[in-house]
Structure 1
Amino acid sequence: MALFVLSGCNSANIASTRNAENNNAPAIASAEPITLKVQVSSTGKDFENTDVYNEIKRITGVTMNLETYDEQKFKVQLAGGDLPDIIQVPNKNIKELIEGNNIIPLDELVKTDGPDILKPVYDKSLAYIRKFWSDDTNKLYMIPVQTGSSSFGFEQQIGFNVRWDYYKELGYPKIGSIDDMVNVLTEMVERHPLTKDGKKVYGVSMWNDWGSLGTWGLRSMGLITGNGLFNVNTGQLVNEYTDPDKSGIWDTARFMFMAQQNGILDPDAFTAKYNDIVAKGSEGTLLSSIATWPFAAANAELLKEGPDKGFVTIPLEWGFTNIGGTTIAGWSDRAWAISSNCKNPQRAMDLIDFLVSEQGSRLIESGIEGTHWDVVDGKPAMNMDTVKLAAAGGDSWKKTGIGQMANQQGFSDHTRLSDGGFVNLFNTPEVYATKVNSLNQDYDAYYGVSYPAEAYQKYAEQGKVKTLDQMPQDVMNAMPPQPDAIKRIVAKVDELLVKGMPIVVLGSKTDAEFKENQTALIQKLVEAGADTYFDWYKQAFEETKAKLGQG
């Protein structure tokens, strides 16, 4: 997350008068310049002074001083009553933020300074937030982010990501299980054991600096298998700590154990951070990842070596792919709130209202009308110069700021706005056609598709692959905060998991030993309260479903 600074928050109350139908919007009437300190997720200082940033400043009169969110720093700020003026609320902190009067109710503010928030499109979202994200006060403390539907874009980024030229070299082997994944990677490493400069190549690794105690990586195989706390394969809740047959955690353990047995597990697998994985991909010492993100730089260089060289996501005809779904709540841990420290909440609301409006959402994801996109024959469309700039990447593209504030927009990329176009105007077949490079062309030709994500999309439409459409996102987002006793249990269980998983994977020489070590760790997790946590979660889940009328 990042922080925007709100100093001098004491200018006059200025109501928004922007034209909601025109993305090339006039500035808020008589808006005096002001600097806002706002906590935002995943947007950093480098967004400042981009084209999109400056346009937000021009329209709202707000200068945003960004600072990246840090959980430990947030705890200190919260304890000391030193929160920024605007924050994006971590869901686990909703109760203490409200009970401690750290954030203010917004019901009256949206009437005077939230014209876009009061539009009918947000009615269900605001009702949801009042009911589930208000600590039972039924007041509006937050404004949602990324409401609406999600769908496949140009490429499916999360999945079994490997070297396409190596996969092609093997004859496009069918991958129907975790075992098949490991076997494919093993054969790739056998054929390409060293980099050009003599470094040893590994098939499997993991980054360990995302999520609570770094446990995101330990659960990551569930993003392929569909196993997890809510199991999309069964439509049921599963104790992912203790049920090895339906758990993303234990799918990851199995994947890494088999890789270790085959000699293709990176020695840094349990210590590497995300940037280490990026470096390994760039130097050619790693052949797979759970997503395309770490290999973006590597792909740019590999394409220079040959038209079919690079990393791609192999579409599997089973399991799960992390896309789709519709949510009225929006993204958790992202909803906007105004701190009780703010001296002028009206101007803070002016900013939030713009960011979650149609105009603001389009600006964030597609840039400035007349500069980055235009209305052509009555339809909004990206300028080809902008599309080319995006394809080229680099500093010139970064300077636009397009897409850098996606965690702050009100509507999802695939939401159709009142002008008939998507929020993200890059999500059209016309733009996709311009993005296809030689690697994409080779991939598309094999799968018989027009753009990469269409390969996975076909399997989803055929019912072979589950998506977020099968995930009860609004139920899970409405779950009550964990009581302190449950928080302590989860922290202890995750700590044991992080310490114990290397023993299970690296300390097992045979399948029998793997089972023994797995059973021993599961027993420790049970003794630490894993079943108690799951019992609480099941009850809270069912009660929340009933409140939503889904029971």
Structure 2
Amino acid sequence: MSSKRFKKLLFPVLALLITLSLLAGCAGQNEEEPPAPSEPAASEGAANGATADTPAEPAAEEPFPISMMILTNNPETPEKDNAIQKAIEAHTNTKLNITWVPSDTYDEKTNLMMASGEMPMLMYVKSMKSSSILNAVKAGAFWEIGPHLANYPNLSQASEGILYNASIDGKVYAVYKHSAPAQVGVTYRKDWLDQLGLTEPTTPDEYYDMMKAFKEQDPDQDGQDNTYGMIYWKEDFLAMFRIAANWFGSPNIWGEDENGNLEPDFVTEAYMAALNFMKKLYDEQLMNQDFAVVAGSKANEMYLAGEGGSMFSSLNNPPAWEAAGKTEEGAVLDVFSTLDAGHGARARAGTGYLGVYMIPKKSVPEEADFKRVMKFLDQLNDKEVQDLLEYGVEGTHYNIEDGKAIIGDREMLQKDLLDYKQLQLKVVSNLTPEGGLPPLREKVEALKLSNEEVAVYNLAQPFDSDTYTRQGQQLDNMRYDMMVKYIMGHIDAAGYQAEVEKWMNAGGSKVIEELNAQYQQAKS
């Protein structure tokens, strides 16, 4: 039998096994609690050295054993007695039994473990949207943690926006592993800005003025008209264009209309305002005219070579480019993220998490044990553990100077930490700031933190559309094409609306209907 046919036969069988296993594991969850143990006899206290006048000292609580499955990206897994794990166990009073699974086989291992019913007490899940996880949640296989978060000092501070993104049918079943949700913006040539006597823009109009100066006032002083205000490129998902769209008040992919229903961003007036902003840059040749066919890697090369003075970018790119020596001689890069077009500060956000941790009911059937695992997850957000998982052991890997962590041997730190960073949840920001950073990196970290307060999330993130699953690529291509045609002047506003109708008729209306059915149910 061919391997392809074998896999086609295997996955339905696995799905059935998973469902049966989970249902079996959830059986008996409503049984009565066992009776509480009776009080110890007086002789038991005496045996521990207690008398009527001198009560016994309470026995130290034994470390709580927790089995875990965690993703690894390294060929070698950590030794169980290493200093990092020992420090985590000491702080949390636990004994960890960690199964490390390579990233490329992690989903397969997850499915096999759920099918066998031999699940750990705490498992890292790469994707909440996988069919096996969704089916397992609907079968009642995982604890719902949302109602319990308020009982824990760190977890109670979780971002409502990120919890929403990681929810299923409006309920929270997982503790997320935080990733800065709004870490995109604009990188620009600060040396050009200084040369022209300008300041960092705070509004789209000021940004336009900056780009116009970069185009027309010879910022590189070579006597030639050979620079653009912005370098732009072909985007598959319009992720970077939405940075500007959010400035003008647009939703982030999906928002809510005046009737409380989900609607796609590109049908809104705010999105059209952003399109008109970009069209103005194109019409005045402030941006490269071949943006529709330029790849992202090529755009980076153009920017770093001094062909343009700004570009949409991850905020992490400029400090990385400077550290790697990729900028041209004399170039000084800088960044900004939010511009106010009359709607206040708004930062385009992603999901805000990189995987989640879930607690299976089959391996953690008792509520007392569930609460103890939740306490462990809460403690992973304590300052001491966050510092440990970021900087290693104080005095060995780093020292504190002026309230900031100064890392010594980074190569040793990376080797010793290995994949324990997978446990760094950062649900709440308790981390000691890192010292000794270049000024641009410090600014980037501060921007990512402040952006989280004004993050604009995709309201359809927790939901799935069957139509979009089948036709998503076609529908996304149509969205990109209508944007490009409008910016380049191939269609006018009426032509753009005609393209919107084509998108609706090609399946877009069905996508809106399917997403709204789930959205309204989750809100009810």
Quick one: which amino acid aligns to residue 427 of structure 2? Answer: S
For 2:189 and 2:183, locate their aligned partners in 1 and report how far apart those are by CA, in whole Å. Answer: 14
Give the alignment of 1:135-284 within 5 angstroms.
142-145=173-176, 157-172=183-198, 175=201, 178=204, 180-191=206-217, 202-205=228-231, 214-229=237-252, 239-247=263-271, 250=272, 253-261=275-283, 262=285, 264-265=287-288, 267=290, 272-273=295-296, 279-284=301-306
Return the match for 1:55 from 71, 84, 89.
84
Is 1:494 the counterpart of 2:476 in the alignment? Answer: yes
The DSSP-based 3-state class of the residue aligned with 2:322 is: helix
Query: Is the contact made by 1:91 and 1:333 (CA closer than 8 Å) also made in structure 2?
Result: no
CA deviation after TM superposition for structure 1 residue 176, in Å: 6.6
CA deviation after TM superposition for structure 1 residue 88, in Å: 2.1
Q: In terms of Rg, which structure is larger?
A: 2
CA deviation after TM superposition for structure 1 residue 173, in Å: 5.7
For 1:183 and 1:76, locate their aligned partners in 2 and report how far apart those are by CA, in whole Å. Answer: 54
The DSSP-based 3-state class of the residue aligned with 1:92 is: coil
Give the alignment of 1:370-519 within 5 angstroms.
372-373=393-394, 383-384=400-401, 387=404, 389=406, 395=411, 398=414, 405=421, 409-414=424-429, 423-426=430-433, 435=437, 437=439, 453=446, 467-468=454-455, 481-485=463-467, 487-488=469-470, 490-506=472-488, 508=489, 513-515=491-493, 517-519=495-497
Aligned length: 439
CA deviation after TM superposition for structure 1 residue 205, in Å: 4.1
Seen in structure 2, the aligned counterparts of structure 1 residues 534 and 368 have a Cα distance that, compared at 3 Å, is closer
For 1:189 and 1:47, locate their aligned partners in 2 and report how far apart those are by CA, in whole Å. Answer: 51
Deviations 1:269-293 (A, max 9, x none): 65534x5555555444453224422
Seen in structure 2, the aligned counterparts of structure 1 residues 30 and 529 have a Cα distance that, compared at 3 Å, is closer
Query: Is the contact made by 1:295 and 1:311 (CA closer than 8 Å) also made in structure 2?
Result: yes
Quick one: which amino acid aligns to residue 412 of structure 1? Answer: V
Deviations 1:352-410 (A, max 9, x none): 76873324564664226996559xxxxxx9713995756x997567557599947x544
For 1:104 and 1:523, locate their aligned partners in 2 and report how far apart those are by CA, in whole Å. Answer: 41
Report the RMSD for the aligned CA atoms in angstroms.
Answer: 6.2
For 1:104 and 1:29, locate their aligned partners in 2 and report how far apart those are by CA, in whole Å. Answer: 29
Task: Name the TM-score, length of structure 2 as normaliser.
Answer: 0.58
Quick one: which amino acid aligns to residue 477 of structure 2? Answer: E
Return the match for 1:311 from 327, 334, 348.
334
The DSSP-based 3-state class of the residue aligned with 1:162 is: strand
Seen in structure 2, the aligned counterparts of structure 1 residues 486 and 291 have a Cα distance that, compared at 3 Å, is closer
Is 1:334 the counterpart of 2:355 in the alignment? Answer: yes
For 1:101 and 1:255, locate their aligned partners in 2 and report how far apart those are by CA, in whole Å. Answer: 44
Task: Give the aligned partner of residue 38 of structure 1.
Answer: 70
Query: Is the contact made by 1:37 and 1:64 (CA closer than 8 Å) also made in structure 2?
Result: yes
Is 1:524 the counterpart of 2:506 in the alignment? Answer: no
For 1:538 and 1:500, locate their aligned partners in 2 and report how far apart those are by CA, in whole Å. Answer: 24
Seen in structure 2, the aligned counterparts of structure 1 residues 116 and 252 have a Cα distance that, compared at 3 Å, is closer
The DSSP-based 3-state class of the residue aligned with 1:257 is: helix
Which 5+ residue runs of structure 1 have no aligned equivalent?
A: 1-25, 375-380, 415-422, 444-450
CA deviation after TM superposition for structure 1 residue 160, in Å: 3.4
Task: Give the aligned partner of residue 319 of structure 2.
Answer: 296
For 1:383 and 1:235, locate their aligned partners in 2 and report how far apart those are by CA, in whole Å. Answer: 53
Seen in structure 2, the aligned counterparts of structure 1 residues 207 and 190 have a Cα distance that, compared at 3 Å, is same
Task: Give the aligned partner of residue 92 of structure 1.
Answer: 129
Deviations 1:239-288 (A, max 9, x none): 335424223xx566445433433152274565534x55555554444532
CA deviation after TM superposition for structure 1 residue 440, in Å: 9.1
Which 5+ residue runs of structure 2 have no aligned equivalent?
A: 1-59, 90-94
CA deviation after TM superposition for structure 1 residue 163, in Å: 1.9
For 1:214 and 1:75, locate their aligned partners in 2 and report how far apart those are by CA, in whole Å. Answer: 28
Query: Is the contact made by 2:218 and 2:225 (CA closer than 8 Å) also made in structure 1?
Result: no
Seen in structure 2, the aligned counterparts of structure 1 residues 312 and 62 have a Cα distance that, compared at 3 Å, is same
Quick one: which amino acid aligns to residue 188 of structure 1? Answer: F
Deviations 1:209-256 (A, max 9, x none): 7xxx64423433234334115669999767335424223xx5664454
